């Protein structure tokens, strides 16, 4: 395993903890000591009530009767509410309507909230909620994307991106293949489940403590269900115990229900979901059904492609429009598709509404083209790495199927570097020899790239605000619109502020995200937290600095060019003034030491009517080489080694970034291998707890795990200190593990057959793929026909 990096020594004339150095996470000691406070750790206010909801037992049905007398009479119950008791809006859809805060006469997934209960204890609320007598009239259900496609059930219209004439290119291509695959979903499984605490205020409003990635949306929706102006609601987020997208929109229903109960009872209300309820009632990563039709030449270079991605969205739109869009944007990964058509469907199913999850549809879109690269290689009898390299974007092949020009071609060099440092060619030869001599164990190797677009695909979300105060002792207070979910956003933005003033990091304090300090914020999502909030904070700092420079120039009779901020001092002409003393002087001279900052991402645009534009400011890149061993008798497997080279631009904090890469990769492994969401034919989730849903453990991480940041790679775009986003892209590096498993299985047929392997690639699916591959090999041996290496 990787050793923890040692802090880089810094020159004596440089303040400590600035951007580019490996500062500790600001809450790390609190996490390990247990002193970090989450929602359920907050002191309980006097008169606190606990919330729970009654849940639908049907996937799709009309509610014909609901008797709540037993619920109301249960000991400890103070209030019971139905949708008829909501004073304001009843639909809390985050973008498009379709999400009732409480169901009316129609339910569309198992677990949908029917009514809300407030009781004097968590236990009493949950037990009372189970006592309702509800009658249903069952209705037809669709539970999978394929069923929705057949029945033409969609939560939003389909969308097409088109470049050139793919039909002509496919017809004229020397070779052509078709394929399909199912890409499984994923449970967020954050350590802290969904939770909130709402307190009524003296002026008819509410104060909301929430575990949410989007406090401004919580504020807006709570105000709407209560029938209040937004300024009557304040929302605070200090930290989350994990989010990964699951708390972008789906924390809001808890806050809305708690707020309704709090206003009705006049008492504070806490709503903490039990793990089983959380898994049943909240959305997952979308599972996808994808197909491809590709044409290519003798070298395996794509001439044309027709790709379809269909996401299982659940019963409502939630964020599915943008998620399927991103799957479409990333269906090329790092490869030029040639003449291409990409179609995306938003499939309506009678399951919980799926939502954002690290990668936001991008990983699901990438999977189909990575499958195609492997399939082309088996068809032509070549190493899949060579096929991937030939299809990479480069000069002359640098425009995507949605019209954005790729301006920075890092992947070819990154692949070459990792190919050498990982000893890919030598290991490939060794593995091929091993597989010829070993009858039971088979090893696989794969090197795959990632090109991930950075920006919200909804243009208006690409904005952020920040608030910076400099106090008279030289200490600095920072507040911004981003939320901390363990990813290290707060420490990175604090480092930006420390760097702006060239003072020690311990002078900067970041406070909880609050809607009454920085308003109208975007969610902390799309890997944009540091890009947006870091630039907003820097803008605030620059405004204060300009005032300080103007003051110093006038007070000391020097030009602005003779003033510099250096190592906890301010150099004014020939003299150095201690930072705190200088700030005190500015205060005495009535200089404003506080400022807000704002940033909006430039250059981005996208026209949905034409399916063309520049939706991303830049791309983050990474490459991973993974080796696995598979037991062909059981389908069990183990990841032996992974080498990663990732582009973080000019990293703001290498230690945090490497941690994000390692964590994202392992989470991606879980998505592709062990994490399986299982529903029965009635639409009930069976994998609803840690006993039935397997997230990766420490023992699942590669025994030999090597992670490096691409050196000397500043972002050519004007991001904060030329850094690049790191949150989501590393998850997709785990595709190398899935591809390596296919490589190992293909060796059963001497690499002449490209085995189908849906995800998650559980041992059962791996064993099934091995059986299919052996059957194909036996059929080829039984006949004298020339082998065809791709299934129909």
Q: Which residue has the tokens 């975007």?
A: 522
CB count within 10 Å of CB 736 equals 31
Asked if 329 contacts 362 with a C-beta cutoff of 8 angstroms, the reply is yes
Helical packing angle, 735-746 and 362-380, nearest 10°: 30
Q: What is the DSSP letter of 570?
A: E
Over 401-420, what HEC string results? CCCCECCCCCHHHHHHHHHH
Active-site residue among 636, 728, 785, 791? 728
How far from the centroid of its chain's Cα atoms is residue 305's Cα?
27
Over 473-514, what HEC string results? CCCEEEEECCCCCCCCHHHHHHHHHHHHHCCCHHHEEECCEE
Q: What is the DSSP letter of 366?
A: H
Asked if 300 contacts 337 with a C-beta cutoff of 8 angstroms, the reply is no
CA distance 286 to 323: 8
List, as one string, the DSSP characters of 664-707. Answer: HHHHHHHHHHT----B-TTS-BS--STTTS----GGGS-SEEEE
CA distance 694 to 672: 12
Query: What is the C-alpha radius of gyration for the chain, rounded to an integer number of angstroms?
Result: 28
Q: Which residue has the tokens 């609050």?
A: 514
CA distance 305 to 294: 4
CA 32 → CA 27, 29, 43, 349, 410, distances in Å?
9, 5, 20, 41, 38
How far from the centroid of its chain's Cα atoms is residue 583's Cα?
41
Give the residue from 656, 666, 665 showing the smallest Cα distance to 729: 665
* Secondary structure tally for the chain: helices H, strands E: 19, 29
Pairing of strands 513-514, 233-237: antiparallel
DSSP 3-state assignment of 641? strand
CB count within 10 Å of CB 474 equals 18
**DSSP H/E element including 612:** strand 612-614
Q: Which residue has the tokens 């949708």?
A: 83
List, as one string, the DSSP characters of 414-450. Answer: HHHHHHHHTTHHHHHHHHHHHHHH-SSEEEEEEEEEE
How far from the centroid of its chain's Cα atoms is residue 713's Cα?
24
CA 746 → CA 53, 84, 176, 291, 298, distances in Å?
49, 59, 20, 21, 21
Residues 6+ apart with CB under 8 A from 605: 459, 613, 614, 615
Question: Is there a catalytic annotation at residue 147?
Answer: no
With 0-12 / 13-18 / 19 or more C-beta atoms within 10 angstroms meaning exposed / middle / buried, residue 337 is buried
Active site residues: 728
């Amino acid at each position: 395993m990787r050793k923890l990096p040692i802090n880089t020594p810094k020159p004596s004339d440089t303040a400590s903890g600035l951007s580019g150095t490996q500062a500790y996470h600001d809450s790390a000691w609190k996490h390990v000591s247990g002193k970090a406070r989450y929602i359920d750790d907050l002191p309980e206010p006097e008169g606190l009530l606990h919330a729970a909801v009654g849940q639908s037992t049907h996937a799709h049905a009309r509610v014909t009767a609901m008797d709540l007398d037993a619920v109301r009479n249960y000991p400890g119950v103070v209030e019971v509410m139905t949708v008829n008791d909501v004073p304001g809006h009843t639909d809390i859809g985050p973008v498009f309507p379709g999400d009732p805060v409480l169901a009316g006469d129609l339910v569309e997934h198992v677990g949908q909230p029917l009514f809300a209960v407030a009781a004097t204890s968590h236990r009493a609320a949950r037990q009372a909620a189970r006592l309702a007598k509800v009658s249903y009239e069952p209705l037809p259900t669709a539970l999978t994307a394929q069923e929705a496609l057949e029945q033409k059930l969609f939560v939003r219209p389909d969308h097409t991106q088109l470049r050139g004439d793919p039909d002509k290119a496919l017809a004229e291509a020397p070779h052509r293949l078709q394929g399909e695959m199912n890409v499984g979903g994923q449970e967020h499984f954050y350590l802290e489940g969904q939770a909130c605490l709402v307190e009524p205020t003296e002026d008819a409003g509410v104060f909301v403590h929430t575990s949410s990635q989007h406090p401004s949306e919580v504020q807006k929706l709570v105000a709407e269900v209560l029938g209040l102006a937004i300024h009557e609601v304040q929302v605070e987020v200090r930290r989350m115990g994990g989010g990964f997208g699951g708390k972008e929109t789906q924390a809001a229903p808890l806050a809305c229900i708690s707020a309704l109960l709090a206003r009705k009872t006049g008492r504070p209300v806490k709503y903490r979901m039990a793990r089983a309820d959380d898994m049943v009632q909240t959305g997952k990563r979308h599972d996808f059904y994808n197909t491809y039709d590709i044409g290519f030449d003798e070298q395996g270079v794509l001439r044309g492609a027709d790709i379809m991605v269909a996401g299982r969205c659940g019963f409502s739109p939630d964020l599915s429009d943008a998620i399927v869009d991103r799957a479409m944007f990333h269906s090329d990964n790092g490869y030029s598709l040639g003449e291409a058509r990409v179609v995306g469907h938003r499939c309506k199913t009678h399951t919980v509404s799926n939502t954002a999850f690290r990668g936001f549809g991008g990983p699901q879109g990438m999977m189909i083209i990575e499958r195609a690269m492997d399939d082309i290689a088996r068809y032509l009898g070549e190493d899949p790495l060579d096929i991937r390299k030939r299809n990479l974007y480069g000069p002359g092949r640098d425009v995507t199927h949605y019209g954005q020009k790729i301006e920075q071609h890092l992947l070819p060099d990154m692949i070459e570097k990792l190919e050498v440092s990982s000893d890919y060619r030598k290991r490939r030869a060794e593995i091929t020899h091993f597989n010829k001599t070993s009858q039971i164990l088979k090893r696989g190797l794969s090197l795959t790239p990632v090109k991930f677009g950075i920006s919200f695909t909804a243009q208006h979300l690409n904005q952020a605000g920040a608030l910076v105060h400099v106090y008279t002792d030289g200490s600095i207070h920072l507040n911004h619109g981003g939320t901390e979910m363990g990813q290290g956003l707060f420490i990175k933005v604090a480092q930006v502020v420390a760097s702006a003033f060239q003072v020690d990091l311990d002078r900067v304090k970041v406070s909880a995200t609050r809607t009454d300090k920085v308003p109208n914020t975007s969610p902390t999502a799309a890997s944009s937290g540091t890009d947006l909030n870091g630039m907003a904070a820097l803008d605030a700092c620059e405004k204060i600095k300009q005032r300080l420079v103007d003051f110093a120039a006038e007070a000391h009779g020097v030009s602005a060019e003779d003033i510099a901020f250096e190592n906890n001092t301010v150099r004014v002409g020939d003299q150095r003034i201690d930072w705190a003393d200088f700030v005190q002087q500015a205060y005495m001279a009535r200089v404003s030491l506080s400022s807000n900052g704002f940033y909006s991402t430039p250059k981005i645009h996208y026209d949905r009517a034409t399916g063309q534009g520049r939706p991303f400011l830049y791309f983050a890149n990474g490459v991973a080489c993974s080796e696995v061993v598979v037991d062909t008798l059981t389908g069990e497997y183990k990841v032996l080694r992974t080498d990663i080279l990732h582009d973080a631009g000019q990293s703001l904090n290498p230690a945090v970034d490497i941690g994000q890469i390692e964590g994202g990769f392992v989470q991606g492994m879980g998505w592709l291998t062990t994490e399986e969401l299982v529903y029965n034919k009635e639409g009930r989730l069976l994998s609803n707890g840690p006993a039935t849903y397997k997230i990766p453990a420490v023992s699942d991480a590669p025994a030999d795990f090597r992670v490096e940041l691409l050196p000397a790679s500043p972002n050519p775009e004007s991001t904060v200190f030329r850094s690049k986003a790191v949150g989501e892209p590393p998850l997709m590096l785990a595709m190398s593990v899935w591809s390596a498993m296919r490589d190992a299985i293909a060796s059963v047929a001497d690499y002449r057959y490209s085995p189908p392997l849906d995800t998650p690639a559980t041992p059962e699916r791996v064993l099934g793929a091995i059986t299919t591959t052996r059957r194909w090999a036996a059929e080829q041996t039984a006949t004298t026909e020339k082998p065809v290496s791709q299934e129909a």
